[in-house]
Amino acid sequence: LPYKVYYYKEVTSTMDIAKEIAEKGEEALIIAETQTKGKGRMGRFWYSPKGGIWMSLVIKPSFSLKEAYLLTYIASLATALAIEKIAGIKVFLKWPNDIIYKENDKEKKLAGILLEVKAEIDKIDYAIIGIGINVNNEISSLVPEAISLKEILKKELKRKDIIKELIKEFKDLLKVESIKILNLWKDKSLTLGRKVKIIHPEGEKMGLALDISDDGALLLKTEDTKILKIYSGDCIHLRN
Ligand code: BTN
Per the structure, the count of domains in the chain is 2
218 and 153 in one domain? no
pLDDT at 134 over 70: yes
Is 95 close to ligand 1, i.e. is its CB under 6 Å away? no
pLDDT in tens, 57-104: 999 988 887 788 899 999 999 999 999 999 999 999 999 999 999 988
Task: Return the pLDDT at 202.
Answer: 80
Task: Return the pLDDT at 240.
Answer: 63
Task: Return the pLDDT at 139.
Answer: 97
Q: Which atom of ligand 1 is nearest to 44's Cα? A: 2
Is 54 close to ligand 1, i.e. is its CB under 6 Å away? yes
Q: How confident is the model at residue 195 (pLDDT cuts 50, 70, 90)?
A: very high
How many A from CA of 139 to the centre of ligand 1? 14
Q: What is the CATH number of the domain that holds 216?
A: 2.30.30.100
pLDDT at 189 over 90: yes
Residue 233 lies in domain: 195-237
Task: Return the pLDDT at 65.
Answer: 79
How many A from CA of 176 to the centre of ligand 1? 25
205 and 174 in one domain? no
Q: What is the CATH number of the domain that holds 167?
A: 3.30.930.10
54 and 142 in one domain? yes
Is 55 close to ligand 1, i.e. is its CB under 6 Å away? yes
Give ipTM to 2 decimals. 0.99
Q: How confident is the model at residue 123 (pLDDT cuts 50, 70, 90)?
A: confident
Which residues pair with residue 213 across a beta bridge? none
- Closest by CA to 60, choosing from 118, 133, 146, is 118
